[in-house]
Amino acid sequence: MASLHDIRDLFPALLIDAASSVVQVGLLQTRGTTWETSTDEAGVAVFQCIEKLHCDLGAIASFVFCEGPGSVLGMRSVAMALRTWGVLRPRPVFAYSRLALVAHALGLARSGIIADARRNAWHHYDLEHGLRRVATADLSGDLRMPENFRHWSPLPPGVTPVPYSLESLWPQVWKTDLLRPTDAPDAFLHEEPSYVTWSPQIHRAPP
């Protein structure tokens, strides 16, 4: 694991987060960071933000992206772009968890940061146990949920929304080891999907 401070020799870096309904893109340079956001569909919003940043992709030395948990479509759109840029010119890629980012930035040791995991379960991150998948009935304690993230299950009682602004969060964890090097960017999954097999049969009229 590494921090943004650790990879400063790999600046300029492009940081992309499409895990929520608000896409956030940052251009990290030694002289500072500039940010752009968009609420358009991720496949469009990412490139809108890059254009607004006047970012020369050829000059980028590394990439940082949010692997989730969050919008699988948004994260996979980013992963596809990163893989394409990597084919054109290989560069280091680092992934981070948005729940870990929020937890470390808030520094609340006894708070759980949650996100919908569907099927009546929640992604749950705290500073003591890390990332877990917890059934709704088993959630307890002080719970926080980043804003602008969709949820399909009703929110557990007592959940406190917290802002999810990378421009505010990342400076608080600049030296925290939240970055995981990866050569295969993809969306975060707690477990690989399983598929039911079936045997094809010729349709026959009932007797």
Residue 201 placed within a domain: no
**Are 67 and 124 within one domain?**
no
pLDDT tens digit string along 87-98?
999 999 999 999
**Are 90 and 125 within one domain?**
no
**Are 176 and 81 within one domain?**
yes
**Are 23 and 78 within one domain?**
yes
* Burial class of residue 34 (count of CB atoms within 10 Å of its CB; 0-12, 13-18, 19+): middle
How far from the centroid of its chain's Cα atoms is residue 190's Cα? 13
**Are 64 and 124 within one domain?**
no
Please answer whether residues 27 and 56 qualify as being in contact, where contact means their C-beta atoms are separated by less than 8 angstroms.
no
pLDDT band, residue 198 (cuts 50/70/90)? low
Q: DSSP assignment of 124-140, as one string?
A: EEETTTEEEEEEGGG--
Residue 48 token pair? 């809108």
> Which residue range is the domain that position 62 belongs to?
8-97+170-181
* Burial class of residue 136 (count of CB atoms within 10 Å of its CB; 0-12, 13-18, 19+): middle
pLDDT tens digit string along 64-119?
999 989 888 899 999 999 999 999 999 999 999 999 999 999 998 889 999 998 88
